[in-house]
């Protein structure tokens, strides 16, 4: 038995044959030509055909996996339209006097390497998009469909699957995904989660000699067991049966109230990053959305999303939740969430730098675009607005003033919005937790972001895995701050929730309920587990 470890991006278990995707990809030969103009013509018609294919794929994906995931094909079309890219291919053909296939492969290698070497994880992930478009062009030039036909349900192994490869695959034939590279924000990871497929990334290269062998993919630990021994198979079967049994038991809690035995009710909401997570929230019976991390709309885009684009997404979530509360956090860009087109300054301490509300209160035009989109969407459901990384009263007052300005604009334009929309703030800095009594009169609610609150209170960079042994969200300083926030919120008649990872920590659920927490917002897959825990409390 061979054990290979990677990073899990979707928690589940599966067992099946390994299928090395793309193993039969042809190698592109470099051929000299005396007629580069013919090669340029061949390239241009492949370019047109590729765009046509991408349009068809977009239409197909729109039906299968929704607009968010389909958008990648529009991005690929934009990449094909990029003069830097196609100009470089034509230049290679003319200067090196080579065949079009080789020029495409040569150019895409350079572009992909450039992306891979960038610091930003999101931009690194774009390397696979370049490979994807180049693969499509080469297939067209060599008259090859390029798609692998997976013969039976298998665990798919690949270097780094491109989104179009993933969408084109027959879903019934996929048991799980393993990729040698990739990142949490790569489209492969995003699509795998959307498709409900266990996935492990960053395993490092796996030899294709294992093609066809039986394996177990443990999406909980991130391990792949090739040729598992009898003991591991028995263990897997037990865990799989337990997983199914547990899921069945938990699903019986759907529709049941989230309250303790003595009828203390807690609002149990879900955290989402985009409208495509809505299905999971609804499936797990979330009573609302406690944190919609709106920055993911910006992270997935290649330029600032327009007011209309944002409006459509917020409206989709508001309508999808059918009148239940949807708390949208205004964009929390900066620190670990860097975006090229924001052109943020390079900082020594980005976690303590220009991020979140600080960007919004500086670039008020951009902020107002988001606020207008949110307010417009508020006419279609129960949206609340929440500001991140608050440290002072003046930030809250300025943010609210911008909401009022946006409201006035919509009023003047005769556009409907929810006039009494709730506004709240995240308590995720020690400053906010300490002055929460001063902040409470200005807001409708608090939501405690324990991820950042832990980072800033314990002076521990949450991105630095070397600090893992010191990262202690159960530290009494954190628990005292949480208790202080709950007490002060209640003194001012405001409700308070927790939306950081700690909200799903079942060892603390009882303590939070005893402190008087009003709301817990967790990943969709944790909703029923937390409900079960609360219903067990006396
Ligand atoms: C938090 O800081 O706890 C939080 C919920 O926000 P994020 O993890 O997105 O920073
Ligand atoms: Mg945070």
Low-confidence ranges of the chain (pLDDT < 70): 24-27, 143-147, 162-168, 171, 182-196, 463, 465-466, 468
Residue 86, pLDDT score: 93
Ligand at minimal distance from the CA of 451 is 1
Residue 516, pLDDT score: 98
Name the residue among 48, 25, 249 with its Cα closest to residue 147: 25
Secondary element (H or E) of residue 24: none
The catalytic residues are: 187, 499
Classify 458 as helix, strand or coil.
coil
Mutate to test the pocket of ligand 1, among 426, 453, 503 (most ligand atoms within 8 A of CB): 426
Pair 452, 432: CB distance under 8 Å? no
Residue 140, pLDDT score: 86
Q: Is 327 in the pocket of ligand 1 (CB under 6 A)?
A: no
Category of 345 on φ-ψ map: left (φ > 0), alpha (ψ -120 to 50) or beta: beta
Residue 389, pLDDT score: 98
Residue 526, pLDDT score: 87
- Write down the pTM of the prediction: 0.68
Pair 497, 270: CB distance under 8 Å? no
Bridge partners, 214 (sequence order): 17
d(CA 116, CA 139): 23
Residue 25, pLDDT score: 58
CA distances from 282 to 267, 276, 314, 535 (A): 15, 11, 16, 20
CA distances from 77 to 56, 57, 67, 130, 168 (A): 11, 11, 15, 11, 17
Residue 300, pLDDT score: 78
Q: Is 451 in the pocket of ligand 1 (CB under 6 A)?
A: yes
Residue 118, pLDDT score: 86
Residue 252, pLDDT score: 96
Mutate to test the pocket of ligand 1, among 269, 328, 451 (most ligand atoms within 8 A of CB): 451
Task: Please identify, by atom number, the ligand 1 atom nearest to the C-alpha of residue 271.
Answer: 5
């Amino acid at each position: 038995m061979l054990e290979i470890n990677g990073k899990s991006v979707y928690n589940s278990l599966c067992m099946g044959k390994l299928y090395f995707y793309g193993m039969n990809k042809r190698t592109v030969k470099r051929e000299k030509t005396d007629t580069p103009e013919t090669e340029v013509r061949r390239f241009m018609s492949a370019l047109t055909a590729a765009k046509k294919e991408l349009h068809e794929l977009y239409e197909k994906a729109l039906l299968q996996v929704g607009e968010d995931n389909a958008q990648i094909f529009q991005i690929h079309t934009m990449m094909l339209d990029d003069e830097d890219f196609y100009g470089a291919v034509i230049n290679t053909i003319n200067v090196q006097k080579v065949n079009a296939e080789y020029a495409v492969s040569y150019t895409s290698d350079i572009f992909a390497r450039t992306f891979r070497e960038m610091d930003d994880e999101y931009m690194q992930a774009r390397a696979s998009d370049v490979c994807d478009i180049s693969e499509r062009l080469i297939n067209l030039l060599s008259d090859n469909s390029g798609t692998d036909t997976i013969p039976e349900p298998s665990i798919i192994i690949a270097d780094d699957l491109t989104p179009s490869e993933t969408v084109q695959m027959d879903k019934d034939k996929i048991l799980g995904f393993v990729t040698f590279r990739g990142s949490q924000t790569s489209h492969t990871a995003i699509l795998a989660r959307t498709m409900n497929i266990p996935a492990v990334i960053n395993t490092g290269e796996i030899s294709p000699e294992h093609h066809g062998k039986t394996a177990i993919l443990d999406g909980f630990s991130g391990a792949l067991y090739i040729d598992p021994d009898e003991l591991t198979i028995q263990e897997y079967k037990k865990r799989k049966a337990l997983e199914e049994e547990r899921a069945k038991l938990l699903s019986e809690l759907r529709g049941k109230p989230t309250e303790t035995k003595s009828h203390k009710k807690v609002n149990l909401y879900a955290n989402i990053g985009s409208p495509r997570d809505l299905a999971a929230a609804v499936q797990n019976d979330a009573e609302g959305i406690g944190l919609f991390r709106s920055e993911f709309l910006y992270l997935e885009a290649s330029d600032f999303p327009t007011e209309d684009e944002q409006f459509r997404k917020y409206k989709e979530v508001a309508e999808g939740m059918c009148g239940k509360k949807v708390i949208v956090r205004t964009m929390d860009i900066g620190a670990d969430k860097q975006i090229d087109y924001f052109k943020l300054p390079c900082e020594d301490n980005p976690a303590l730098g220009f991020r979140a509300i600080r960007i919004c209160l500086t670039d008020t035009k951009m902020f107002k675009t988001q606020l207008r989109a949110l307010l417009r969407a508020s006419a279609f459901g129960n949206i609340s607005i929440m500001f991140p990384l608050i440290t002072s009263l003046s930030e809250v007052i300025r943010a609210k003033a911008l909401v009022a300005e946006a409201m006035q604009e919509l009023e003047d334009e005769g556009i409907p919005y929810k006039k009494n929309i709730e506004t709240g703030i995240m308590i995720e800095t020690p400053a906010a937790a300490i002055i929460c009594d001063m902040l409470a009169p200005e807001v409708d609610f608090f939501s405690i972001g324990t991820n950042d609150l832990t980072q800033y209170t314990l002076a521990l960079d949450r991105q630095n895995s070397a600090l893992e042994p010191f990262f202690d969200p159960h530290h009494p300083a954190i628990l005292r701050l949480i208790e202080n926030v709950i007490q002060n919120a209640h003194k001012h008649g405001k409700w308070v929730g927790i939306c950081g990872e700690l909200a799903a920590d079942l060892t603390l659920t009882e303590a939070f309920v005893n402190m008087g927490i009003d709301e817990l917002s967790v990943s969709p897959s944790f909703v029923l587990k937390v409900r079960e825990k609360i219903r067990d409390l006396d």
